[in-house]
Amino acid sequence: MIKVNNITKTYGDLTAVDNISFEVPQGEICGYLGPNGAGKTTTVKILTGMTLADSGHASIGEYDIAENSIAAKKQIGYVPESGALYESLTPYEYLTFVGELYHMAPNKIDTKIEDLTEFMGLEDVLHKQMTDFSKGMKQKVLIISAVIHNPEVIFLDEPLNGLDANAALLLKKLLHNLTQTGKTILYCSHVMEVVENLCSRIVIINEGQIIADDLVKNIKANNQEASLEDVFNKLTDTEDKNKKAEAFSKVITE
C-alpha cells in the first residue's frame, strides 16, 4: 500500500533522507523509528505530499504521490508531530472544515463528529475555541481529523503526544482494530515500548539511511538484545548513557 523507492531529499548541505526504500503492505501497522533529526518526519512529509523528494518515487496504493498527488492524498490521513491546527476554530468547525475538504455529506460529517468526539471525550468542548485547549485535547482533535474521512492509509507522527493513559490505550486499541479492517498504518515514534507492542514490523532510520527493516522479533534476535529499546540504542547511539547522565546531573547541580 505504501511504497518508497530510492527517495532522497536534501535541505541545503543537509541530506535529510538518503536513497531510502521500503514498503508497507495493506493491513499492516509498521513502526518507523529513528533518533531526533534522523529523517522520519521528512519521509512522512514526502509520503503525504507536503514536500517533494529530490529523486526517487513514493506511492500510496496505485497513485504516485508526486504525479497524482490529489488522488493519493484522498487515500491518506495524517496526525502531524507539529500538532498544527487552526486554534481559533472550535473542534466542530475544524472537523466540519476537514470533512468538507473531503466532500463528505453534511449530515455524515455531523454524525461522525458527534460519535468520534464522544469516543474521545470531547463532547463538552465541541463548540469552544481551541486556543485554550490542552495539548492532549488538541491531539484528540487531530486524531479525529485524520480518520474522519475513512482513509485507507494513516500516518501517525508521535500520536500519543499529550494524551493521558486512558486516551493512549484507546488509541492503541483503535489502531489495532483499524489494521484488522484493512487499513495501513505507518507509526513514527520514539516510545519503543508502544512500538514494540503495537507493530509487527519496524523500519529504523538513522542519519537519513535505513539501518534496519524487519519483524520486531527478528531484529531483536539479530542484535542479541532483549528489548527494542536496547536494539535502538545499539544501532543509533554508541555512547555510555550512565556516564553521560552522571555528567549531565553534575552540570545541573553545580
Partner 1 sequence: MIAKLCQALNIDYIQLKTLIKNHLRIDLRQHKGIGRNTTTKIPPLIYSGIFYFFMSLMVSISLLQYANIFLFEFVIFSYAMVMSLFTILLEFGNTIITPEDNGILGFRPINSRTYFTSKLINLFIFNTFLTFALGLIPAIFGIFIQGGDWSFPIVFFPFLLLATTVSAAIVVLIYTGLLKILSYKKFKDILAGIQIIFVFVIFFSYQFVPRMVNKHSFSSVELDNSWLNLAPPIWFSGAVEFIRGDVTGRNSLFLIATLVFSVILAVFAFRKISIEYTQNISSLQEHSGQDQSKNRKESQRETNLLFSIFKSEELSAGFKLTTSMMKRSRELKMTIYGMMGIPLAYLGILIYDNSIADPFTQATPESQFWPGIMNKLVLVFLSLMVTLIYHNMFFSKRWKAAWIFHSSPVEEPGKLLQGVKLAVVLKAFIPFTFLFCIIYGTQIPLSHAIQASAMFLIIGLVLLSGVSIFTKSFPFSKIKKPGSKTRRLLYFLIMPFFLLIFAPVLQFGFSNTNNYIITMLGLFALFLILESIAVKKTSKNLRLN
Interface residues with partner 1 (CB under 8 A) are 11-12, 14, 45, 48-52, 69-71, 73-74, 76, 78, 80, 82, 84-86, 88-89, 93, 97-98, 100-103, 129, 131-132, 155
Q: What is the DSSP letter of 205?
A: E
Query: From the CB of 59, what's the least distance to partner 1, in Å?
Result: 15
Query: Three cell numbers at 3?
Result: 511504497
Q: Identify which of residues 14 and 169 has a Cβ nearer to partner 1 in the complex.
A: 14
Minimum Å distance from CB 142 to partner 1? 10
Question: Minimum distance between the CB of residue 222 and partner 1, rounded to whole angstroms?
Answer: 34
How is residue 51 annotated by DSSP? Answer: S
DSSP symbols for 53-114: -SEEEEEETTEETTTSHHHHHHTEEEE-TT----TTS-HHHHHHHHHHHTT--HHHHHHHHH
State the nearest-atom distance from the C-beta of 200 to partner 1, in Å: 25
Residue number, 77 or 201, with CB nearest to partner 1: 77
CB of 64 to partner 1, least distance (A): 14
Cα–Cα distance list, 62 to 19, 69, 254 (Å) = 21, 11, 59
Q: Which is nearer to partner 1, 39 or 49 (CB)?
A: 49
Nearest residue (CB) to partner 1, 226 versus 252:
252
Q: How far is the CB of 21 from partner 1 (least distance, A)?
A: 22
End-to-end CA distance of the chain: 53
All three cell numbers of 37, joined, read 533529526
The backbone torsions φ and ψ at residue 150, rounded to the nearest 5 degrees and listed phi first, read 55, 60
What is the nearest approach in angstroms of partner 1 to the Cβ of residue 100? Answer: 4
C-alpha dist (Å) from residue 64 to 3, 143, 160, 208: 9, 25, 29, 22
99: exposed, middle or buried (C-beta count within 10 Å: 0-12, 13-18, 19+)?
Answer: buried
Q: Which is nearer to partner 1, 21 or 129 (CB)?
A: 129
Nearer to partner 1, 31 or 77 (CB): 77
**Quick one: 184 or 204, whose CB is closer to partner 1?**
184
Measured at the alpha carbon of residue 223, what is the angle toward residues 173 and 20, in degrees to the nearest 5?
70
